[in-house]
Structure 1
Amino acid sequence: MHMEPIVHPRWLLARMYEPDLVIVDCRYDMSVPSAGRAAYDRDHIPGAVYADLERDLSGPLAAHGGRQPLPDPQTFADTISRLGIDHETRVVAYDDQGGALAARFWWLMRYHGHTQTYILDGGYSYWRSLGYPVSDAHPPVIVPKRFEVRIREEMLADRQEVYERLYASNTVLLDSREAKRFLGVEEPMDHTAGHIPGAVHAYWRESLDDAGLWKSPEEQRERFAAAGIDPDQEIIVYCGSGVTACANVLALERAGFRKVRLYAGSWSDWISYKDRPIAKGE
């Protein structure tokens, strides 16, 4: 049975102790890398396991590939296996950063062939605001499972493919960063400001409403239409390092866009090449 990728806390509350469900805490602070694990140790949804952005959801840094390169597939599979997850396991991921880190986990799981990964609407803060249970217990005893790699290549675009599609009429590049970074006015994370030429802009946080909950598919379609995105085009989504772009990938797919790919290295990979063109302003 097909399910929406976003689940309400009530759905999780009713199922959180079912044996075929694993809850994954993805909280992470890029300015204080240890803060996510520390937050998990203070309190978390009962039974949740922890996945760290740098250690578990990214690969080692190299000359190219961006600030949070994709992990090696077998290394990722080993990590997921240790968390007690296989392809029959239902998984719910959450964070406290608007869903961007959970969306990274969701995208990685789908890219590696898992079809039953969901994101908790509103994240941990919303869960707590509803008065739902939290725990400071140590991580549960995990029985490892065998997670097999089933890569879906059609979900990914690399730098060369992006370069070859600049200004192509059948392809749109979607920049998911804040407007000031897209415009090249300010760049707090990377050594070069600007955007990929021809890209359109839709800040990933606009996927959420004022309460921090995911907008409906209809509302997502409206915001992407306002950005000039045609559902018939191929859409390649990027951000600074390939993390927050996953939130826009999820929003696009919920809105019914089917030709959506992630440029995983994103801007930080693009500017690592000397021959890359750069645009600023609108």
Structure 2
Amino acid sequence: MSVLIQPAELAEALAGAHPPVVLDARYPGPAATGNGLPAFEAAHIPGSVWVDVDTELAGPHLGPGGRHPLPDPEAFAAAMRRVGVRHDRGVVVLDAANSLAAARLWWLLRDAGHEDVRVLDGGFAAWERAGGVVATGPAKAATEGDFAGRPGRLPIVGPTEIQALIESGVDPRLWDVRTPERYRGESEPIDPVAGHIPGARNLPATTLFEDDGTFLPADRLRTALAGVNASDTLYCGSGLTAAQVLLAMEVAGVAEGVRLYPGSWSDWISSPDRPVATG
């Protein structure tokens, strides 16, 4: 079964005897104010529940950990129970279009042990283009779920390990998935320091999608991702886009062993002792 689900397939599943839990993680982006709730209430998939990226899919930004540190495991489990996640029921996650926020939720659920999590390819925009039924207004309260996941199923790496590799002269095998301008340090619209982690290569996430926000076909993804090896590490600005690229690798069937640096660049630069490269 593909990790992606198409709008027609989701519509059929929702009409079945055991419909999936549908979670909408629409998010206006790091440079925007507010959250995705107004967009959700203006139009959403019937029966879906909105999840807040900043408060439920990330922990408080009170220090190291970056702009979107991983949430406390118990807080995340409680949030998932609130929105109806159960161990015996599939979950479909989505966002506005390009799976940026949905990928974070997909990764968190898989890391915590939920085996049946799929992502709506193209998000809510694809659902609307396909003529899917749309509801408006606040979501109805979900039936309390029984999710009690524990994180640690998926490989991650932290700054201490990366810095030790750099200082010892070993290639850290890092892939910075931000835009080339941010990678080179020519433009930094979000974080206070520009540049990249020394030794990192650039793999822009934007090259992995069609113009409408859907993923490239699997064979084209495999070509685009051919340089990434098992045990390599993905990072971005705050961890969201890195999860998006890991999802693309899952679509392509080449994600096994690839690690995530959850705090990413915004965590790396939180310590002045860590080296920064530009160009």
Moved more, 262-271 or 145-154: 145-154
Partners in 2 of 1:154 and 1:210 — Cα distance? Answer: 30
Tell me, yes or no, if structure 1 residue 247 matches structure 2 residue 248. no
Report the more deviating stretch, 261-270 or 154-163: 154-163
Q: How does 1:1-282 map to 2 (within 5 A)?
A: 3-18=1-16, 19-30=18-29, 31-166=31-166, 168-169=170-171, 171-225=172-226, 228-229=227-228, 231=229, 233-255=230-252, 256-281=254-279
Distance 1:77 1:191 in 2: 32
Q: Could you list the runs of 5+ residues in structure 2 that have no partner in the other structure?
A: none
* 8 Å CA contact 2:112, 2:153 repeated in 1: no
Q: Which moved more, 1:240-249 or 1:250-259?
A: 250-259
Letter in structure 1 aligned against 2:170 = A
Taking the aligned partners of 1:141 and 1:35, their CA distance within structure 2 comes to: 19
TM-score by length of 1: 0.92
Describe the shift of the 1:97–1:20 C-alpha distance in structure 2 as closer, same or farther (beyond 3 A): closer
Q: CA deviation at 1:20?
A: 4.5
Gap runs ≥5 in structure 1: none
Coordinate RMSD, CA, aligned: 1.6
The percent identity for this pair of structures is 37
Q: 1:161 Cα shift? A: 1.8
Helix, strand or coil at the partner of 1:156: coil
Q: CA deviation at 1:42?
A: 0.8
15-24 or 192-201, larger mean C-alpha shift: 15-24
- Cα distance in 2 for residues equivalent to 1:199 and 1:79: 35
TM-score using structure 2 length? 0.93
Q: Secondary structure at the match of 1:165?
A: helix
AA matched with 1:249: L
Letter of the aligned partner of 1:131 in structure 2? G
Distance in 2 of aligned mates of 1:47 and 1:95: 15
Greater shift after overlay, 133-142 or 4-13? 133-142
